[in-house]
């Protein structure tokens, strides 16, 4: 314990301990949506850093575009409704819209003024029509006539040809025409829908680009040949456009007999939901964009006029096409925890104590190896697992299928409502059911977000249980990109709790009192409030009081108020919050003792780790849950304690202390809601220290390049 206290006390060096706060005004929380946009601004900053490889910088631009798509698809529809109201709600929406416009403008500025020139200096260029020479234009025209033109069917608008239904996030053109159509009418507006099957980036052949790598965008190819689509008429003006729609599936579970069937039907309609955002070219005329706003029934706040492609997400194709190793992150080969005890089996190893895997610095394949052993072992009788996000191609699902084939009892709790993974999860559920696995969908009205795997094995006359719990998903692809903690255990109390929870999710019978697990929506929120209060009480009594919590988002007002109260009692609180945070740090008289930082680096920070010290009592929990209202009351979530002193110290060192000392990838939240990047060089040091992620890669990597 002494070492734990010393490490966390050391993390405060260089900061001043604020005096105990006196009576103060009510704290005004930060706006969640603006905080989300601020997070994306921090991600976008990675695209400006010279030390980040060039293709990775472009990838960060694409990531921000993808994040913004999801923001509008999920978060913006209520804001549109508020614009019809007067007062605070509409003003808040306009502030969110302004912040989004500023972020998009910055994004295109970086793309046009920073990245494209650097690519050009490296001999890589995306040519506009005006930049192509005659030979290149001939090649592009040939490509258009051969591969693009046969798939385009322009629609000229008139009473019998109304404005077509445009799919979510699809590429389209609006064209204004002069002259008459084949029937002598002067209908001037036409719409051209560009199929998704066409690649958005096309590379010119080597003979068209000697010594360089040249590309053209599909939008520029169509743009250059719009006149070919309207023979006998003159194209007066045009613009590409893209509409984003509200896609959050809303199924009234109490009114359906089969949730899977209802969700599959909803997926068919997702592409054509309520329009929430319109993107057009910067040169689009007032006449055309106002016409489009009317068609989609959108206010001016939803219009984004962009200097470049309307869908930067699809530029990830350029990253894949170029694929130049010198312009990408150096390959990283994570170590395997399994190698440390092989050829001993997982079951024998876990009898000696719990096992912790820090992903992606250690490989997720250790978890797969555990499941492979369980599937191959004749003594294993049953496997139970939750499925939230596994991806469309999953070795884990193949292993579960093999377990069924070998005659083991397999039960899978599939969360059908995992946003944007609904279709993949429905397909997995149907496949597993078809071969005899028991498939359940959790509890009506709640998302099952807990990540757990339970293996039951016959050992002599007894049945022994082994469990895997995780802060992240069972997805091998994202496990290489997200920081998470996997926890393997044979602790009798913990694995029995896991078994009770699986039984509860399937049968929906009353859950017995759990001994070690904290579960939402029943007790997790109250347990976190109690632990925070204990830290505050210890501080008020003059005892050591320390709280460090790492999570993705902090938006639950009850937990925020509890943190503020503990800080006002004198507790020292550090929060490592990657994304949205509604708690303003360092507000005089209110949150003087609370510091908030965000880490943005090569990997997406995803682990949830909570440390509490109240006098001589200390505890550390891992969790699947962020401190958000939806996680505490609208989902099945888990938190579990780490009792092993060595593992607890390791998690403190790697997940908390290292991130509190990070001076490379860290941002500090200010009282006004803005973030400032932490200075990269501390006083008295000759050179900057590596960030937490880089240090962990150096510790665990099997290659030296990283």
Give domain status of residue 350, yes or no: yes
**Whether residues 176 and 103 fall in one domain:** yes
**Whether residues 583 and 602 fall in one domain:** yes
Token pair listed for 146: 């051969």
Give domain status of residue 332, yes or no: no
Residue 629 main-chain phi, psi, to 5 deg: -60, -40
With contact defined as beta carbons under 8 Å apart, do 87 and 262 qualify? Answer: no
**Whether residues 506 and 537 fall in one domain:** no
**Whether residues 373 and 298 fall in one domain:** no
The domain that holds 12 is classified in CATH as 3.30.870.10
Q: Round to whole Å and give the CA distance between 280 and 193.
A: 14
The domain that holds 266 is classified in CATH as 3.30.1840.10
- DSSP-assigned beta bridge partners for residue 241: 172, 280
Q: Which of 280, 276, 304 is nearest to 76 (CA)?
A: 276
**Whether residues 533 and 613 fall in one domain:** yes
Token pair listed for 666: 């860290």
Residue with tokens 């891992």: 622
Token pair listed for 476: 């091998």
The band of 348, judged by pLDDT with boundaries at 50, 70 and 90, is very high
Give domain status of residue 706, yes or no: no
pLDDT of residue 90: 84
Give domain status of residue 492, yes or no: yes
Count of domains in the chain? 3
Between 475 and 86, the more confident residue is 475
**Whether residues 250 and 120 fall in one domain:** yes
With contact defined as beta carbons under 8 Å apart, do 494 and 617 qualify? Answer: no
Token pair listed for 124: 């890589």
Which of residues 516, 545, 571 is at a domain's end? 516
C-alpha dist (Å) from residue 473 to 61, 382, 449: 25, 21, 9
For residues 483-502, one letter each, b for 16 or more C-beta atoms within 10 angstroms of the residue's C-beta and e for the rest, the string is: bbbbbbbbbeebbbbbbbbb
pLDDT digits (tens, 9 = 90+) for 157-191: 887 788 999 999 999 999 999 987 777 777 899 99
For residues 532-542, average pLDDT: 98
3-state secondary structure of 583: coil
Q: Supply the pTM of this predicted model.
A: 0.91
Active-site residue set:
449
Give domain status of residue 546, yes or no: yes
3-state secondary structure of 56: helix
**Whether residues 411 and 314 fall in one domain:** no
Q: Round to whole Å and give the CA distance between 498 and 452.
A: 8
Q: Which of 312, 145, 124 is nearest to 221 (CA)?
A: 145
Chain-centre distance for alpha carbon 374: 31
Q: Which of 601, 593, 600 is nearest to 575 (CA)?
A: 593
pLDDT digits (tens, 9 = 90+) for 310-335: 999 999 999 999 999 999 999 999 99
* Residue 682 pLDDT greater than 80, yes or no: no
The band of 270, judged by pLDDT with boundaries at 50, 70 and 90, is low
With contact defined as beta carbons under 8 Å apart, do 27 and 301 qualify? Answer: no
**Whether residues 487 and 567 fall in one domain:** no
Lowest mean pLDDT of 140-144, 421-425, 444-448, name the range.
421-425
pLDDT digits (tens, 9 = 90+) for 428-446: 778 888 888 888 887 778 8
Which of residues 489, 516, 543 is at a domain's end? 516
List of residues 6+ apart from 543 with CB closer than 8 A: 614, 615, 616
- Structural domain boundaries enclosing 417: 337-516
**Whether residues 446 and 509 fall in one domain:** yes
pLDDT digits (tens, 9 = 90+) for 584-596: 999 999 999 999 9
**Whether residues 123 and 228 fall in one domain:** yes
List of residues 6+ apart from 168 with CB closer than 8 A: 73, 243, 244, 245, 247, 270, 271, 272, 273
With contact defined as beta carbons under 8 Å apart, do 406 and 383 qualify? Answer: no
Percentage above 90 pLDDT, the chain: 74
pLDDT digits (tens, 9 = 90+) for 452-491: 999 999 999 999 999 999 999 888 889 999 999 999 999 9
**Whether residues 352 and 242 fall in one domain:** no
C-alpha dist (Å) from residue 270 to 12, 122, 173, 420: 48, 41, 22, 10
pLDDT of residue 342: 83
* Residue 251 pLDDT greater than 90, yes or no: no
Which of residues 284, 301, 327 is at a domain's end? 327
pLDDT of residue 12: 46
3-state secondary structure of 100: helix
Q: Which of 525, 527, 597 is nearest to 558 (CA)?
A: 525
List of residues 6+ apart from 476 with CB closer than 8 A: 364, 365, 368, 391, 394, 395, 396
List of residues 6+ apart from 117 with CB closer than 8 A: none
Lowest mean pLDDT of 213-227, 255-269, 285-299, 604-618, name the range.
255-269
**Whether residues 422 and 543 fall in one domain:** no
With contact defined as beta carbons under 8 Å apart, do 30 and 582 qualify? Answer: yes
With contact defined as beta carbons under 8 Å apart, do 366 and 497 qualify? Answer: no
């Amino acid at each position: 314990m002494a070492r734990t206290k010393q490490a966390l006390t050391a993390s405060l060096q260089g900061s001043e301990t604020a005096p105990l706060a006196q009576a103060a005004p009510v704290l005004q929380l930060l706006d969640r949506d603006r905080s989300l946009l601020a997070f994306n601004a921090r991600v976008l900053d990675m695209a400006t850093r010279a030390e980040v490889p060039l293709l990775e910088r472009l990838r960060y631009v694409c990531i921000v575009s993808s994040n913004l798509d999801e923001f509008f698809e999920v978060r913006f529809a209520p804001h549109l409704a508020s614009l019809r109201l007067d007062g605070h709600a509409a003003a808040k929406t306009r502030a969110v819209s302004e912040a989004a416009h500023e972020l998009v403008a910055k994004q295109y500025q970086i793309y046009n003024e920073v990245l494209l020139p650097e690519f050009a200096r490296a001999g890589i260029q995306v040519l506009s029509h005006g930049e192509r020479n005659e030979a290149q234009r001939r090649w592009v025209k040939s490509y258009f006539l051969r591969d693009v033109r046969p798939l385009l069917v322009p629609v000229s608008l008139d009473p019998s040809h109304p404005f077509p239904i445009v799919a979510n996030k699809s590429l389209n053109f609006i064209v204004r025409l002069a002259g008459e159509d084949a029937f002598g009418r002067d209908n001037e507006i036409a719409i051209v829908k560009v199929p998704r099957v066409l690649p958005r980036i096309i590379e010119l052949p080597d003979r068209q680009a000697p010594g360089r790598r040249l590309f053209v965008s599909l939008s520029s190819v169509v743009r250059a040949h719009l006149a070919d689509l309207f023979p006998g008429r003159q194209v007066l003006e045009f613009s590409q456009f893209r509409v984003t729609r509200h896609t959050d599936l809303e199924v009234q579970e109490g009114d359906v007999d089969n949730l899977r069937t209802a969700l599959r039907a909803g997926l068919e309609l997702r592409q054509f939901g309520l329009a929430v955002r319109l993107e057009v070219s910067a040169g689009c005329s007032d006449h055309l964009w106002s016409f489009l706003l009317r068609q989609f029934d959108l206010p001016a706040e939803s219009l984004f006029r962009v200097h470049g492609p309307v869908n930067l997400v699809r530029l990830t194709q350029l990253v894949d096409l170029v694929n130049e190793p010198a312009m990408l992150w150096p390959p990283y080969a994570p170590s395997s925890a399994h190698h440390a005890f092989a050829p001993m089996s997982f079951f024998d190893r876990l009898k000696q104590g719990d096992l912790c895997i820090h992903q992606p610095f250690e490989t997720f394949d250790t978890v797969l190896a555990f499941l492979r052993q369980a599937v191959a072992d004749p003594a294993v009788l049953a496997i139970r697992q939750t499925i939230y996000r596994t991806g469309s191609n999953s070795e884990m699902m193949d292993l579960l299928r093999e377990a069924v084939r070998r005659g083991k009892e397999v039960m899978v709790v599939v969360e059908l409502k995992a946003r944007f993974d609904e279709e993949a999860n429905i397909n997995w559920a149907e496949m597993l059911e078809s071969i005899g696995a028991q498939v359940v969908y959790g509890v009506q009205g709640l998302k099952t977000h807990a990540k757990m795997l339970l293996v039951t094995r016959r050992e002599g006359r007894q049945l022994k249980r082994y469990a895997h719990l995780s802060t992240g998903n069972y997805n091998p692809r994202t496990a290489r990109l997200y920081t998470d903690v996997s926890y393997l255990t044979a602790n009798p109390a913990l694995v029995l709790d896991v078994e009770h929870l699986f039984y509860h999710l399937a049968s929906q019978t009353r859950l017995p009192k759990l001994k070690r697990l904290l579960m939402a929506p029943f007790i997790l929120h109250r347990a976190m409030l109690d632990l925070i209060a204990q830290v505050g009480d210890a501080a008020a009594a003059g005892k050591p009081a320390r709280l460090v919590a790492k999570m993705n988002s902090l938006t639950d007002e009850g937990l925020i108020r509890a943190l503020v109260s503990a800080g006002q009692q004198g507790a020292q609180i550090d929060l490592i919050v990657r994304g949205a945070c509604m708690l303003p740090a360092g507000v005089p008289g209110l949150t003087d003792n609370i510091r908030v930082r965000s880490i943005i680096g090569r990997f997406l920070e995803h682990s949830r780790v909570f440390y509490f010290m109240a006098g001589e009592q200390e505890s550390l929990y891992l969790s699947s849950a962020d401190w958000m209202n939806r996680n505490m009351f609208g989902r099945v979530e888990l938190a579990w304690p780490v009792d092993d002193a060595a593992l607890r110290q390791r998690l403190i060192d790697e997940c908390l202390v290292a991130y509190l000392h990070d001076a490379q990838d860290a941002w500090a939240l200010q009282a006004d809601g803005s973030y400032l990047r932490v200075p990269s060089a501390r006083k008295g040091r000759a050179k900057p220290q590596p960030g937490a992620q880089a240090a962990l890669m150096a510790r665990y990597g099997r290659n030296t390049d990283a």
